[in-house]
Amino acid sequence: MTIALDEQQAAAKAWFESLRDAICAEFEAIEAEAGSDARFERTPWDRVDPSGAPGGGGVRGVMKGRVFEKVGVNVSTVGGSFEGDFAKTIHGAGDDPRFFATGISLVAHMANPHVPAVHMNTRFLATTKRWFGGGADLNPPIPYDEDTADFHARLKAACDAHDPTHYPRFKQWADEYFYIPHRKVHRGVGGIFYDHLEGAFADNFAFTQDVGRAFLDIFPQIVRRRMAMPFTDADIARRNAWRGRYAEFNLVYDRGTLFGLKTGGNIDAILMSLPPVATWD
């Protein structure tokens, strides 16, 4: 359901949609290189605000192929009012529950255990304050130092182009956020995470765009590097056990999951981050 957007909101929404289209095209190209005709299936959804007013919506994109066992690339643009005490947990919404949010969320679970899973999300929110947030992190069942170094180097370059303090601060934030306390392990090999980046809209928007471009540049390189490597049943078992940890984090600790559920988002889109197969032994 369409909601009215101001100039900043419209610009952010348009960027996230264009980034989605570029990522989906690149991932489909990788599938084609592997001899697969897999394509993204896009499903639109509408949100109704608790007040009964139009609450926006989004498009859930999912592809299941030969390289990407399951990848979701979602864009949503929603608005309305937070319900109950949840408003007090959101930056700038404690005294006024009205909000706007638009963003892209991506999670890829790979068929080959040598290819790392990955998460990327960037977003723009408006309450009584306006800010950007997001990040990306690499989640390999079988880590390779080369992949980790290249992923971090590309994100660092994106950060350094805007502020030399961004990368060390946002890397540490990711290390602290993407951690499973009850397991006492990190979810993967890290990346960057940032939130409440407010102030100069143009500068913060440009940085958020560069984070998306950095992801689109480096992750396909890593996929192509690993996707033809041979693997064993033991490798698959290792991948599936690792996926169980990933699922635990997303269901217990992930802020995006909670935000989507608390704001009446599309359940299939919210839970697309869960792997298609996982084990708990």
Instruction: Tell me, yes or no, whether 159 lies in a domain.
Output: yes
pLDDT for position 1: 58
Helical H runs in 132-232?
Answer: 145-160, 166-177, 201-226
Q: Are 50 and 81 in contact (CB under 8 A)?
A: yes
Instruction: Tell me, yes or no, whether 154 lies in a domain.
Output: yes
Helix axes 145-160, 166-177, angle to 10 degrees: 130
Helix axes 145-160, 201-226, angle to 10 degrees: 160
pLDDT for position 3: 83
Q: Are 245 and 180 in contact (CB under 8 A)?
A: yes
Indicate if 119 belongs to the active site: yes
Chain segment 139-161, per-residue pLDDT in tens: 999 999 999 999 999 999 999 99
Partnered with residue 110 across adjacent β-strands are 68
The catalytic position among 119, 152, 166, 186 is 119
Helix axes 201-226, 7-33, angle to 10 degrees: 10
DSSP-derived letter for residue 194 is E
Instruction: Tell me, yes or no, whether 281 lies in a domain.
Output: no
Structural domain tally of the chain? 1
Give which of 145, 166, 176, 249 is closest to 214, Cα–Cα: 166
Partnered with residue 62 across adjacent β-strands are 41, 72
Instruction: Tell me, yes or no, whether 279 lies in a domain.
Output: no
Phi, psi of 137 (to 5 degrees): -145, 145
Q: Are 186 and 178 in contact (CB under 8 A)?
A: yes
Q: Which residue has the tokens 């859930």?
A: 60
DSSP 65-81: -SSEEEEEEEEEEEEEE
pLDDT for position 2: 74
pLDDT for position 272: 85
pLDDT for position 247: 94
Instruction: Tell me, yes or no, whether 172 lies in a domain.
Output: yes
Residues 6+ apart with CB under 8 A from 94: 87, 88
* CATH code, 210: 3.40.1500.10
Instruction: Tell me, yes or no, whether 280 lies in a domain.
Output: no
Residues of the chain with pLDDT under 50: none
pLDDT for position 143: 98
Give which of 118, 111, 107, 113 is closest to 273, Cα–Cα: 107
- Structural domain of 81: 7-273
Instruction: Tell me, yes or no, whether 58 lies in a domain.
Output: yes
Chain segment 68-117, per-residue pLDDT in tens: 999 999 999 999 888 778 878 888 888 888 899 999 999 999 999 999 99
